[in-house]
Chains A and B, each alone.
Chain A
């Protein structure tokens, strides 16, 4: 990503603003790998007016919210409570923020919402766009800085003048912002496609902090410009010139060089807020100057990411301490509902008994400390489900179907080793049919497959729909579904059963998008004589590999599927 010039200036301004109003701005999302550039930012943090406290992504509730200090309680014989990190306002430094689980994010977000004055510095070292801080937190942090590609040469020591900051803090409560400022920020946020209302609020606070820093009692244009660059620009989801999408109020923004021209097209709702076009334009320019050049590419990646990794409810977890196959116990705390592995705990404590007895003032036969606790862990592997969606249409169907049947049986034969389940959906005529519900039974499969009819139109969308429903169901039962589409032709039957090529293609694309949006991996196997272009496009929509296999037999088919699965 190419960064516009002056990013380091913005880093400096941002950190100073944060030092003026740490709680109001919520904090900083710092996306940078560990290195000297990041260290420079960290060096500036002690200038913030609150104590620095370090968190880590797997921090427990007891450390966050406090609880009974078991060790002290046991050794003193009195109840000793310990305050959590969140008890006092603090600068919370969260390294490896990209590893933050949604649960921790929700807790931190809750703590920040309660207005106890926390400020979060999230240090995100994510290498891929997918590895990132949960959105529940990014939304609440005013400053978003991406320093990943910033060379060390462009950085310098960040100047933080403690006295000036203290003076600015004293002035902050008196800083006022006119109604016009509120309007401008809100309108601008909408133009940049920012949906959350927190963004303009945070921008407003940043502008106020900057005004206080400059020694003013009212927000002026410079403060506003800087605030827009710091807070709004990194959150932009569209270029301001773009025609707004359907769910946005229609705004035909004029291209900046000729600001008067498009003005008449504005809808009435915002006409009143646009009477001062020059300032708006200056802000817009400011925002655009800092928009990353590859904004759109990033957006596309982000949307895909939401589909893939974004579905991260509590159910997706594989390792746990409750069920599954036991794996070796490890040292841990007892606070998060974990189960103690008594034998391992005793074993860990055993070598120390003599020393501890000598040091301890208590007469006790067994000395166990928190360090000795070993927690039970279990691992649950979710079974893979391979959903074959087979085209049973037209005259060639019989051979194709036979090969598909063969492939299903071959794959099932390996199923015991691979923990795979297999299901088969066939589509023909006007609808799709679930021929084989998810199974690992070879006998059942053979019986069901024997009576598979063929012929008729190609209701591709219906087939995908059935597959998607099945995928969602089986995911709920703890399986990991993959969709394998075997076909040779174009869709010609729409979802509602009418024979209409255009509609059928649209429906198929819609279904493919839905499958991708649900995050299910897929593969498209083209069994036609010649590669079919529309299938390639469909594979792209699915985000799936496209495998042309003309005249495939069952063996080649199952090999291809196995290879694609393991890739």
Chain B
């Protein structure tokens, strides 16, 4: 299969790209939700994200990608204990997936052939330490959503079924995309996403032409196109890796914390997750830009993505939450310079 469309080659959609990069820098931000119309490059961007993620070290045969031997779950039959470097897992959670497939279940093959009771890890195991991508997340069945919420909260997957009793770590970053016209997302699930982005088709003719031109070249001259954009993707990945290193030493002083808190208060977002995400995202942005400290400008830039989906929904507000966040940001942080 061909490689996905390169991330750097995506035209426009700056906010979406920024959110993807930030979550690649600091998985602690908690993932990205991309909502928008059809044909705006949502799926393209998410699939291209995989190429930007730095590789991880993991035990070769460990089903949950444990970083070291002593962290492997005891039910795993390790065939190789070597530590290998592998790409960060980006696992697709298809719609209509069964519960068994998500949490794992009795290994039917072993049960049928050897009469042996063994656990077959599910998607959550594979996504540990990586990313879990749900396309059309708003169409996901309710019982699967419940499952994900629980695991995303606890970071651990507990399986008690068919005579199995097994637990394993499942820490993953949720990345979702969807079209709001096809259904709403439950507020509880919304809250699990760190950043959210709304994408629309570009309104500018030149941009639209450029999108089509690049897509056409990608399909007509795949090799040449990938060749052309590979360096840009590699550079971006290096910047992300550098930013990760930079993150630990990033200073954020009292005034920035106060800005975050005031913003969230003014918007009336529930819980403290908003403040934390806002701070983490600002810090990741500062690290990405190579700044020494987080400034108000960073907070301002990430505020829409970090807070948009945490407002209490007002069905009558036609302006949408983006404008509301923008208005409050201006009120609290002052006009942008």
CB distance from B187 to the nearest CB of A (A): 10
Q: Does B245 contact A (CB under 8 A)?
A: no
Contact of B315 with A518 in the complex, beta carbons under 8 Å: yes
Residues 203-235 of A, flagged 1 when their CB comes within 8 A of B and 0 if not, give: 010000000000000000000000000000000
Contact of A139 with B141 in the complex, beta carbons under 8 Å: no
Contact of B95 with A313 in the complex, beta carbons under 8 Å: no
CB distance from B314 to the nearest CB of A (A): 9
Which among B18-26, B197-205, B262-270 touches the partner chain? B197-205
Task: List residues of chain A with CB within 8 A of the CB of B211.
Answer: 197
Contact of A269 with B205 in the complex, beta carbons under 8 Å: yes
Contact of B139 with A198 in the complex, beta carbons under 8 Å: no
Size band of the interface chain A makes with B? 35 or more
Contact of B315 with A182 in the complex, beta carbons under 8 Å: no
Contact of A198 with B38 in the complex, beta carbons under 8 Å: yes
Residues 200-239 of B, flagged 1 when their CB comes within 8 A of A and 0 if not, give: 0111111011011101100110000000000000000000
Contact of A73 with B112 in the complex, beta carbons under 8 Å: yes
Contact of B201 with A197 in the complex, beta carbons under 8 Å: yes
Q: A103-B139, A198-B38 are in contact. Are A110 and B94 (CB under 8 A)?
A: yes
Q: Does A249 contact B (CB under 8 A)?
A: yes
Contact of A313 with B183 in the complex, beta carbons under 8 Å: yes
Assembly CA distance A249 to B202 (angstroms): 10
Assembly CA distance A186 to B214 (angstroms): 13
Residue with the greatest number of chain A CB neighbours at <10 A, chosen from B135, B182, B211:
B182
Assembly CA distance A115 to B215 (angstroms): 13
Size band of the interface chain B makes with A? 35 or more
Q: A106-B95, A273-B209, A337-B98 are in contact. Are A198 and B39 (CB under 8 A)?
A: yes
Contact of A190 with B208 in the complex, beta carbons under 8 Å: yes
Q: Does A371 contact B (CB under 8 A)?
A: no
Contact of A273 with B205 in the complex, beta carbons under 8 Å: yes
Q: Does B69 contact A (CB under 8 A)?
A: no
Assembly CA distance A168 to B208 (angstroms): 29
* Of B109, B135, B205, B215, the contact of A190 (CB 8 Å cutoff): B205
Task: List residues of chain B with CB within 8 A of the CB of A107.
Answer: 94-96
Q: A79-B112, A110-B94 are in contact. Are A313 and B39 (CB under 8 A)?
A: no
Q: Does A183 contact B (CB under 8 A)?
A: yes
Task: List residues of chain A with CB within 8 A of the CB of B94.
Answer: 61, 65, 107, 110
* Of A73, A115, A249, A312, the contact of B204 (CB 8 Å cutoff): A249
CB distance from B186 to the nearest CB of A (A): 9
CB distance from A303 to the nearest CB of B (A): 11
Q: A103-B95, A313-B138, A313-B139 are in contact. Are A468 and B212 (CB under 8 A)?
A: no
Assembly CA distance A156 to B50 (angstroms): 50
Contact of A185 with B212 in the complex, beta carbons under 8 Å: yes
Residue with the greatest number of chain B CB neighbours at <10 A, chosen from A24, A104, A106, A200:
A106
**Nearest opposing residue in chain B for A475, CB measure:** B184
Contact of B213 with A136 in the complex, beta carbons under 8 Å: no
Assembly CA distance A247 to B320 (angstroms): 15
Q: Does B142 contact A (CB under 8 A)?
A: yes
Assembly CA distance A103 to B43 (angstroms): 16
Residue with the greatest number of chain A CB neighbours at <10 A, chosen from B39, B140, B183, B219:
B39
Task: List residues of chain A with CB within 8 A of the CB of B113.
Answer: 77-79
Q: Does B181 contact A (CB under 8 A)?
A: yes
Contact of A204 with B182 in the complex, beta carbons under 8 Å: no
* Of A113, A201, A315, the contact of B43 (CB 8 Å cutoff): A113
Task: List residues of chain B with CB within 8 A of the CB of A465.
Answer: 316
Task: List residues of chain B with CB within 8 A of the CB of A65.
Answer: 94
Name 11 interchain pairs, CB-CB below 8 A, sorted by A.
A73-B112, A74-B112, A79-B108, A102-B182, A103-B139, A200-B212, A201-B215, A204-B212, A336-B96, A465-B316, A510-B318
**Top 5 A-B pairs ranked by shortest CB distance?**
A313-B183, A196-B39, A198-B39, A106-B136, A139-B38
Where the two chains meet, the residues of A that have a C-beta atom closer than 8 Å to any C-beta of B are 24, 61, 65, 68, 73-74, 77-79, 102-104, 106-107, 110, 113-116, 134-136, 139, 173, 176-177, 179, 182-183, 185-187, 189-190, 195-201, 204, 247-249, 269-270, 273, 306, 310-315, 322, 335-337, 465, 468-469, 472, 510-511, 514, 518
Apart from A103-B95, A269-B204, A337-B143, list 17 A-B contacts with CB within 8 A.
Answer: A77-B112, A78-B113, A79-B108, A102-B139, A176-B220, A182-B209, A185-B212, A187-B205, A189-B208, A197-B41, A197-B211, A204-B212, A269-B205, A270-B205, A306-B181, A314-B141, A315-B142
